[in-house]
Amino acid sequence: MLAPSAPEVVTLGCRLNIAESETIRQLAGANVAVVNGCGVTHQAVKDTRAAIRRLRRARPDAQLVVTGCASEMDRAAFAAMPEVDRIVANAAKLLPASWGARPNALPPRRQTRTFLGVQNGCDHHCTFCAIPQGRGRNRADPATQVVLRVAAAVEAGACEVVLSGVDLASYDDHGAGLATLLERVLAEVPALERVRLSSLDPAAIDDALFAVLTQEPRVMPHVHLSLQAGDDLILKRMRRRHTRAGALALIDRLRAARADLTIGADLIAGFPTEDEGMFANSLAAIGQGQIAFAHVFPYSPRAGTPAARMPQVDPAVVRHRAARLRDAAANVLSHHLAAQVGTRQRVLIERPGDRGHASDFSSVRLDAPSPSHPIGSVAVATITAAAADHLIGTIA
């Protein structure tokens, strides 16, 4: 339970929001409660409102501040909520002055896995997405600054850093792309044990990034793709830049180059005009691509986006399709985990009870406490069993 005066940050949405919330947590003053909300869909906006109400009930005496894409795109509506004391714009959410704090006024929390936002905004205009309205155009943090932040995270105890962005694969620091950034981070922060990436647009994975993903051992063998659908007509109506065949071929190439690599994907269920045949193509893509880690989003119309004006799928059908996609991915994950029994895995211990993640992002529970491997350390474990959604291991 937090002390009454301690700052609290509730985060919704993407990994970039998670990264930004870590900075906000260090900057927010005493007795401040923050909702860092999401506006990617109509449901995300509803969830942000609900989070604000819950936080106000939990922290009646705190100053309640709202930031993030939901309030950025509809500031007047959020400012009118009686629970809200103040709104901070997305562009100002990482500025110390927005929170009444001095730079580095608070020591960073010790992190085992640290999310670092390195890219913001997006130059693409997918028909379902309102994020360009909330985050603006594509822009990258300078590589030199990123390297310093990674080094600081490692010094603070992080074994693993997750580089995050709205459109991370389009990172561009004066012509230097994401692959170059990764190479600099790995070369200049040799103490960094593990690095992961947030969602990657399949169309933006070039040869240089492919090489880093498949050849660099400190880049974890886990690629999460912003797939969204597995049907070409739906992808076209979404205004995505990849095809079904192209995405599946990319997955095959990744696995051929790195056998231990796992695949995750963002998938939208019930996009407007999606019929049973189109949905079947997306469902089949999970098995064909062996997508073990799926983030499934039931489509909900976002006002002002082209998709909101398209013929909508019945909400009950959308929910049913989302459940079927999740079940298909759970089946892939279950088979993947079963195949790991008997292997040795390097596990980052992240939570009490000896819980953490293997290199391929499989969740692992160690069957006995290990005082010699505290939270924040990496243990080598022999996998002795597999449950439906996690592995069970013994430290070698």
In a domain, 63, yes or no: yes
Assess whether 130 and 39 both reside in one domain: no
CA 314 to CA 352: how far, in whole Å?
43
CATH number at residue 184: 3.30.750.210
Flag whether pLDDT at 100 surpasses 70. yes
Flag whether pLDDT at 303 surpasses 60. yes
Assess whether 117 and 92 both reside in one domain: no
Under 8 Å between Cβ of 186 and 195 = yes
Question: Closest by alpha carbon to 362, among 245, 261, 254, 256?
Answer: 261
Assess whether 204 and 117 both reside in one domain: yes
Assess whether 89 and 117 both reside in one domain: no
Chain segment 244-282, per-residue pLDDT in tens: 999 999 999 999 999 999 999 999 999 999 999 999 999
CA 299 to CA 319: how far, in whole Å?
9
Q: Is 265 helix (H, G, I), strand (E, B) or coil?
A: strand
Q: How many domains does the chain have?
A: 3
In a domain, 230, yes or no: no
* Predicted local distance difference test score (pLDDT) of residue 111: 62
Question: Closest by alpha carbon to 329, among 288, 368, 298?
Answer: 288
Flag whether pLDDT at 370 surpasses 90. no
Better-predicted residue by pLDDT, 358 or 70? 358
Residue with tokens 């109509």: 42
User: At 338, which amino acid appears?
Assistant: A
Under 8 Å between Cβ of 194 and 154 = no
Cα distances from 191 to residues 30, 150, 152, 200, 351, in angstroms, run 34, 10, 11, 25, 22
Cα distances from 363 to residues 140, 355, 356, 370, in angstroms, run 31, 7, 6, 17
> pTM for this structure?
0.84
Reduced DSSP (H G I as helix, E B as strand, rest coil) percent helix, strand, coil of the chain, to 5: 40, 25, 35
In a domain, 379, yes or no: yes
Assess whether 95 and 119 both reside in one domain: no
What tokens appear for 157 in the block? 């105890």
Assess whether 92 and 117 both reside in one domain: no
Sign of CA dihedral 92, 94, 95, 96: positive
Taken as a whole, the chain contains a residue count of: 396
Assess whether 76 and 116 both reside in one domain: no
Under the banding of pLDDT at 50, 70 and 90, the label for residue 105 is very low
Assess whether 124 and 72 both reside in one domain: no
Assess whether 71 and 116 both reside in one domain: no
Strands laid side by side in the 222-228 sheet: 222-228, 262-269, 291-298
Chain segment 181-239, per-residue pLDDT in tens: 999 999 999 999 999 999 999 999 999 999 999 999 999 999 999 999 999 999 999 99
Number of Cβ atoms within 10 Å of the Cβ of 65: 23
In a domain, 34, yes or no: yes
What tokens appear for 156 in the block? 């603070």
Mean pLDDT value across the chain:
91
Flag whether pLDDT at 102 surpasses 60. no
Question: Closest by alpha carbon to 286, among 338, 233, 236, 323?
Answer: 323
Among 108-122, 144-158, 284-298, 299-313, the least confident range:
108-122
Assess whether 88 and 121 both reside in one domain: no
In a domain, 139, yes or no: yes
In a domain, 306, yes or no: no
* Predicted local distance difference test score (pLDDT) of residue 33: 92
Q: What percent of the chain has pLDDT over 90?
A: 69
Find the mean pLDDT for residues 364-383.
84
What residues make up the domain containing 361? Answer: 344-395
Residue with tokens 């290990």: 370
Q: What are phi and psi of 366, to 5 degrees?
A: -80, 140
CA 346 to CA 105: how far, in whole Å?
35
Q: Is 293 helix (H, G, I), strand (E, B) or coil?
A: strand
Number of Cβ atoms within 10 Å of the Cβ of 325: 26
Q: What are phi and psi of 195, to 5 degrees?
A: -135, 140
In a domain, 329, yes or no: no
CATH number at residue 40: 3.40.50.12160
Find the mean pLDDT for residues 2-14.
76
* Predicted local distance difference test score (pLDDT) of residue 101: 60
* Predicted local distance difference test score (pLDDT) of residue 2: 47
Number of Cβ atoms within 10 Å of the Cβ of 356: 29
Flag whether pLDDT at 107 surpasses 70. no
Strands 391-395 and 378-386: antiparallel
Of the residues 220, 240, 269, which one is the last residue of a structural domain? 220
* Predicted local distance difference test score (pLDDT) of residue 106: 45
Of the residues 99, 132, 148, which one is the last residue of a structural domain? 99
Assess whether 27 and 50 both reside in one domain: yes
Residue with tokens 């501040």: 65
Number of Cβ atoms within 10 Å of the Cβ of 331: 14
Flag whether pLDDT at 1 surpasses 80. no
Of the residues 193, 220, 247, which one is the last residue of a structural domain? 220
Assess whether 127 and 88 both reside in one domain: no
In a domain, 105, yes or no: no
The string of DSSP letters for 89-134 reads -GGGTT-GGGGT--TT-SPPPP-SEEEEEEEE--S---TT--HHHH
Considering 109-113, 252-256, 299-303, the range whose residues carry the highest mean pLDDT is 252-256
